[in-house]
Chains A and B, each alone.
Chain A
Amino acid sequence: MKLSRLLTLVLFISMCTLIVAAPATTGMTMGKADVKSAGPLAFGPDGILFVGDSMGAQIVAIDTGDTKAASAASVNVQGIDAKIAAALGTTADQISIRDLATNPVSKNVYISVSRGKSADAAAVILKLDTAGKLSEVKLDNVKYSAAKLPNPTASTKATDRTDTITEVRYVDGKILVAGLSNEEFSSNMKVIAFPFASVDKGASIEMYHGSHGRFETNSPIRTFVPYTINNQQFILAAYTCTPLVKIPVSDLKGGAKIQGTTIAEMGAGNRPLDMVSYNKDGHPYILMANSAHGVTKVDAAHLESYKAITAPTDVTGVPFKTIDDWKNVKHLQAYDDKQALVLSDNGNSGLDLRTVALP
């Protein structure tokens, strides 16, 4: 091999290595992460925690440094709302637990909280370690980066306008953000490449809900979960009006107009809260927490074979059943291969956080 070819090859390999090995902390700086409201949480690679900040109209990526792998663990904290409130110097009725996320490596649980219920409520992110100790993730001197979300309207006068972030997930180097406006119904999904480019405000995707092959509405997505079908990355998403749809991630490009394929109708008077995908005994399932229908277990095998539901009475949708003994679930998140993390109302004016064996 000639020397020049060898050098070219070495250079090529070096470049590939550089591309592949770009650390998740690229573009992050030390300083104060100015989080106005701590909402939906999601973990990315290398202990990076993504925080949806509706009031700050941004997604903040925080390097938690929490990368030490833990062995099997579990969570069981009764009255976690009262405990969090006490640590924040207030009462349980003056905090709101916004979301939960499990660090997939360390198994420490991160909790976004609003301390206070007025417009000047403080945004707090807490860590519950595997020993059950609560501590605050301090944001005043942390390695972080932030992506501002695009201005929702052409006008810059929109002081009353807020876009509420309802779900954030990290999928294959992208942050997917679902949200709902307090003014216009037809909201966009945002997709932002990570690590954040300095001026990347994310691309918007218009989401449409096609009803039974006839009516079509530009509809917001409330919650979604990444899911792989035949080696292709999808998201399974629930619109604000409940139907469960599948959308290929490869379609989620800026400026796209996408209509999800309806694979299940979860019924009236209900709203989806959270979804978790898992495998049990070699069989894939989706677990879905709902406001009215409790927790439903969706058979996720062969999702590729289901055709779009074309009538409200269509029974060809994905089979699902209600898990009767999971009551009053407020939040549902992944924990490990065998357990889900559940925040539930304990029926005694309090909230319990625990890990529960996947059904």
Chain B
Amino acid sequence: MILPTAPSRSRLRTGASEPRALASGLLKLALAALLLPFAGAAASVSIQLDNGAFKVVGWPATPEPAAGWASIFSVSTGPDVPALFGSYSIENGALTFRPRFSLAAGVTYHAAFRPPGIAGVEAVFHGPEPVAAPPAHVVAMYPSAAVIPSNQLKLYIVFSAPMQSGDVWPKIHLIDQDGKPSVLPFVELDQELWNRDHTRLTLLFDPGRIKRGVKPNVDMGPVLEEGRRYTLVIDREFKDGHGAPLEAAFRHEFTAGPAERRGIDPKNWKITSPAAATVNPLVIDFDRPLDYALLQDVFHIPEVEGVVSLGPGETQWRFQPAQRWKAAEYSLIIDMALEDLAGNRIGRPFDVDTLVSPAERITQSTISLPFRVK
């Protein structure tokens, strides 16, 4: 046990050894101004928190005990749990413990110094105050169109700030037009599919309920039924990176349209070439909405830099060059990773009916689409 069951006395300490809130550095630590000396402890010995390090002040350091410094000085978050990982050193004559990780907001730390031969001291400290930040909100859901295919494969949720991962599934719901929640509409992976900065979450509809003929599809039917309306709900309790809830719950309504089971064919796209010597955008209008995330970076024009934007409902891709176009033949390189809303790819539907149309498995990684600037 670290804490004494009944300290003989406790008092607020003052002066140089007074525990104090430390505003310097990255750790703004609020220090509980209470020290709990063991009976008979030397009044001059105290534990201080200095820039994230716990220090025994007023005790002339002796050689390290055979059982290690941890046998006489340790910090923990409570009884019956292991002490914090960290490293010990003697700094300016003071035995110092540096925790392996920064102290956490909302956590109480109990430091105990129990040297051999004399009574020890204990001290209680609190982690830093939680960071105050404006509440986060859901910026958008993609696809953004009001009608999406009933075999929709993915949804993207874009947040205004980095969010916490873990435990997201109970806070995400798909409600049908009768107010009935869908049962397990998404693949609830423990490893949630976030982007690097945790501002975008990918929801993957259970592919077993989309693939034709697979047992989950046969047993439970598809998640989305053509012609019915649905609402995606993100609860306000969804936590941002600091653990704070959203500004408000998010609701996005859409209707399930006909299933899309055709492979993508770029021949069905309309390419509007810009005029030479202008910085007008290259515009491609698709024959159907394509995947919001993949559209950000599956197109590439060699040796031309520019900015990509998407048109309404992800049916249009616009490329604004950084420099004026030259009168020339250009190539638009398309990564074959491109998918539409239902996971259909160029030349290959999501689930190929091998009896009806035995399609070739995709072997190329890219294809090229020429366009002329005049």
Q: B77 at interface (Cβ–Cβ under 8 A)? A: yes
Q: B248 at interface (Cβ–Cβ under 8 A)? A: no
Give bound CA distance, A121 to B197, whole Å.
11
Known: A88-B85, A118-B162, A155-B297. A214 touches B355 (CB 8 A): yes
Which residues from chain A contact B362 at a C-beta distance below 8 Å?
218
Which residues from chain A contact B106 at a C-beta distance below 8 Å?
91
Please provide the chain B residues from 78 to 107 with a CB less than 8 Å away from any CB of chain A in the complex: 78, 81-85, 99-104, 106-107
B83, B191, B197: the one within 8 Å of A119 (CB): B197
Give bound CA distance, A183 to B296, whole Å.
11
B194→A182 contact, CB < 8 A: yes
Give bound CA distance, A90 to B77, whole Å.
8
Give bound CA distance, A90 to B191, whole Å.
21
Q: B6 at interface (Cβ–Cβ under 8 A)? A: no
A86→B211 contact, CB < 8 A: no
B293→A160 contact, CB < 8 A: yes
Q: A180 at interface (Cβ–Cβ under 8 A)? A: yes
Stretch of B115-123, B272-280, B333-341 on the interface side? B333-341
Stretch of B31-39, B61-69, B180-188 on the interface side? B180-188
Which residues from chain B contact A134 at a C-beta distance below 8 Å?
82
B352→A216 contact, CB < 8 A: yes
Which residues from chain A contact B84 at a C-beta distance below 8 Å?
86-89
B82→A89 contact, CB < 8 A: no
Known: A216-B352, A217-B211. A115 touches B361 (CB 8 A): no
Please provide the chain B residues from 161 to 198 with a CB less than 8 Å away from any CB of chain A in the complex: 162-166, 183-184, 187-191, 193-198
Give bound CA distance, A273 to B187, whole Å.
12
A118→B101 contact, CB < 8 A: no
A185→B204 contact, CB < 8 A: yes
B365→A154 contact, CB < 8 A: yes
Q: B226 at interface (Cβ–Cβ under 8 A)? A: no
A219→B207 contact, CB < 8 A: yes
Q: A106 at interface (Cβ–Cβ under 8 A)? A: no
Give bound CA distance, A176 to B98, whole Å.
39
Give bound CA distance, A108 to B344, whole Å.
46
Which residues from chain A contact B202 at a C-beta distance below 8 Å?
182-183
B104→A243 contact, CB < 8 A: no
Q: B303 at interface (Cβ–Cβ under 8 A)? A: no
Stretch of B14-22, B213-221, B317-325 on the interface side? B213-221
Give bound CA distance, A218 to B194, whole Å.
22
A87, A114, A242, A268: the one within 8 Å of B85 (CB): A87
Q: Map CB proximity to B onto A175-201 as digits: 1 under 8 Å, 0 otherwise.
A: 000001111111000000000000000
Q: A74 at interface (Cβ–Cβ under 8 A)? A: no
Give bound CA distance, A83 to B194, whole Å.
27
Separation in Å of the A152 CB from the closest CB of chain B?
8
A55→B196 contact, CB < 8 A: yes
Q: A339 at interface (Cβ–Cβ under 8 A)? A: no
Give bound CA distance, A312 to B219, whole Å.
9
Give bound CA distance, A357 to B300, whole Å.
56
Which residues from chain A contact B239 at a C-beta distance below 8 Å?
117
Q: B113 at interface (Cβ–Cβ under 8 A)? A: no
Which residues from chain B contact A153 at a C-beta distance below 8 Å?
297-298, 335, 337
B351→A257 contact, CB < 8 A: no
A117, A180, A184, A209: the one within 8 Å of B189 (CB): A180
Give bound CA distance, A161 to B193, whole Å.
10
Interface contacts beyond A164-B193, A313-B218: sample of 13 additional A-B pairs, CB < 8 Å, sorted by A: A83-B82, A86-B76, A86-B81, A86-B82, A86-B84, A91-B106, A98-B190, A118-B241, A157-B296, A158-B297, A180-B191, A186-B337, A268-B215
Q: Which 4 A-B pairs give the minimum distances between C-beta atoms?
A: A241-B208, A86-B81, A268-B216, A182-B193
- Residue numbers of A with Cβ under 8 A of B are 39, 54-55, 82-83, 85-91, 94, 96, 98, 114-115, 117-119, 121-122, 134-136, 152-155, 157-162, 164-166, 180-186, 206, 208-219, 222, 240-243, 257, 265, 267-269, 271, 273, 291-292, 312-313, 330
6 A-B pairs in the complex with CB atoms less than 8 angstroms apart = A122-B101, A183-B291, A215-B353, A240-B208, A267-B219, A269-B206
